[in-house]
Every structure is written in C-alpha cells, then in structure tokens.
Amino acid sequence: MGQANGRKSIFITGAASGMGLETARLFASKGWFVGGYDVNGAGLAALEKELGPDNCIVRKLDVTDKDAYEAAVADFGDATGGKMDLLFNNAGIGAGGLFADMDFADNLRVVQVNFIGVLNGIHAALPLLKATGNSLCFTTSSSSATFGMPGIAVYSATKHAVKGLTEALSVEFKLIGVRAADVLPGLIDTPILPEGAAANAPKEGMFRAIPPVEVAKVVWKAYGSDKLHWYVPPELVELDKMATNAPEATREQFATTGPLAGLLAQAAEAAKNKG
C-alpha cells in the first residue's frame, strides 16, 4: 500500500475500467495519489501494477456495503494523512428493457449501486473532504438525467437523483468548504454499454460514441473550476434545456423518433386491435 506523502489525492469508485480507469491514469500522470476501488479485483490488480504500488492504494469494494465503504475510506485516510482532495463517485451499473417486462430485483440493484452507493460514499468521505482545503465531491450522473429515458427508466431515475443531490449539496457544502459537482456523460464507450452499441452509434451529434478518457479530462478540469454540471459531449446541455423548457415536446420526440418508437407503435396497434 502506497502513501501519499503530501501529494494531492483522489478516491475513485469503478476504477478498474472505463471512465474510472482513465481518470486514475490521468490523475496519476499529474502526480496525484490514487485510491482505486471496484468489485473487479483482477482489474484493480492490473491498475496497481500500471500505476505502481507507491502511487496508489487499491481495494475491492461493493459500494452498496456501507461498512465496507467506511473501512475503505479509513484506509485511504491512513495513507493520505486524513485528507481527500477529490471524491469521484463513479461506480454504476445499467439494466435495460421496458419497465413492465424487467425483473424487479434488477431494478433494485441499479438503485442500490447507482444511488445508495453514492450516498454511502459521500457520507463516508465527508470528514476527509472537510479536512482538505478546496476539496471536491464529484459524481457521475448521465445524459439520461436530462429527461427520463425510455428503455432505461430506473437507471435514468437514479441519475436524476444524483443530479438533484449534487445540486442540493453544492449549496449545503459551501458551509463546510467542500465543493460538489457532477458529470453528465452521453454515450461513452465503456463495458456498461450493450455489445455493439458504440459501433452502431451515430458518427456525429450529441449521441456519438465518446472515448472514456474525455470524461477523465472533465474530472481534471472540474477540480480547478466552480462549474456545477459538466456535459460530455458539451452539446448535451441543449437536451437539458429542451427537456426543461418543453417537456411535452421532448416526450413526443422520444416517442416518435427515439429507439423505442417502433415498440411503442406496435403496443398501440396491439391495444387498438384488442379493443
């Protein structure tokens, strides 16, 4: 286990792959001490080997286990002298399908990882964040937090919750000298995507496939900024504005041109014939 020895430090969940892995690499290249946490033990071992054991601490962690999360934060604090410059709540899972057809247990697991896991992390890390000047609590939300996305309804709901939590805490945490912000990524080419999704994505526009290193770059920029919401790619902010200003029009656009438009039309026709 490495020691920070005065270096700035970042605690990253979901660090074994995708956006978390790229963030760990980027911050390590900038001279930061990295805490990497994931359920993927093999991926963490590879990360530790890549960064060097003197530059990081890695630990297998299920973010839904609050006791385990608190123990991981305690170990991190031992290595950093009780400091944490940046908490990156990044771990997340997805489950797709029509809500009426999905196994309810799968939906609950998404809530547990994507939202309860974030609550666990912020609560556990807050003493270290408070003890560190200019610290940042940074969380992965999603473009699906701009408007509720059909086909990933519960996932989308958890990301709306993350966005709302971040907004509230960005105000509350001013009282204790901690900043809060989030990133709303679009289609990021990571293992969470269904097979072939990135290859079949549009080549242009807000839903083009984006390499995960672009999110890592945003995490780096966010540490030096007071900006609240970060969109990757940036044009996703227009979807957020549209959903706020014209929710009914946004709803109709998803229903008529979105990926579920065909299924919705079939369901309507079936209901008509049944009637």
Q: Is residue 1 part of a domain?
A: no
Q: For residue 150, give the CATH number of its domain.
A: 3.40.50.720
| Mean pLDDT over each residue of the chain, to the nearest integer | 89
- The closest of 54, 7, 5, 2 to 27, measured between CA atoms, is 7
pLDDT in tens, 85-104: 999 999 999 888 889 999 99
Q: What is the residue whose two structure tokens read 């390499």?
A: 211
Position 220 in a domain? yes
Give SS3 for 79: helix
Residue 47 has pLDDT above 80, yes or no: yes
Q: Which residue range(s) make up the domain with 242?
A: 9-246
Tally the domains of the chain. Answer: 1
The verdict on residue 267 lying in a domain is: no
Give 50 or 254, the one with higher predicted confidence: 50
In one letter, which amino acid is 255?
A: A
Question: Is position 190 within any domain?
Answer: yes
Cα separation, 224 vs 235, whole angstroms = 21
- pLDDT at position 275 over 50: no
More confidently predicted of 221 and 248: 221
Say if residue 191's pLDDT is above 70. no
> Taking Cα atoms as reference points, which of 33, 89, 34, 41 lies closest to residue 63?
89
69 is catalytic: no
pLDDT band per the 50, 70, 90 thresholds, residue 15: very high
Q: What is the pLDDT of residues 163-179, one digit of tens each?
A: 999 999 999 999 999 99
| Cα–Cα distance, 158 to 162 (Å, whole number) | 6
Task: Let me know if residue 174 belongs to a domain.
Answer: yes
Q: What pTM does this model have?
A: 0.90
Q: Tokens representing 88?
A: 């990156």
Whether 222 is in a domain gets the answer yes
Q: What is the pLDDT of residue 203?
A: 61
Mean pLDDT within 156-166: 97
Return the closest-CA partner of residue 99 out of 110, 91, 112. Answer: 110
Note whether residue 55 is domain-resident: yes
Dihedral of the alpha carbons of 121, 118, 38, 208, in degrees to the nearest 10: -140
**Cβ atoms of residues 149 and 110 within 8 Å:** no
Q: Is residue 238 part of a domain?
A: yes
Q: What is the Cα–Cα distance from 21 to 34, expressed in whole angstroms?
A: 11
The pLDDT value recorded for residue 219 is 98
Which of 37, 69, 155, 231 is an active site residue?
155
Of 81, 86, 90, 124, the closest CA to residue 10 belongs to 86
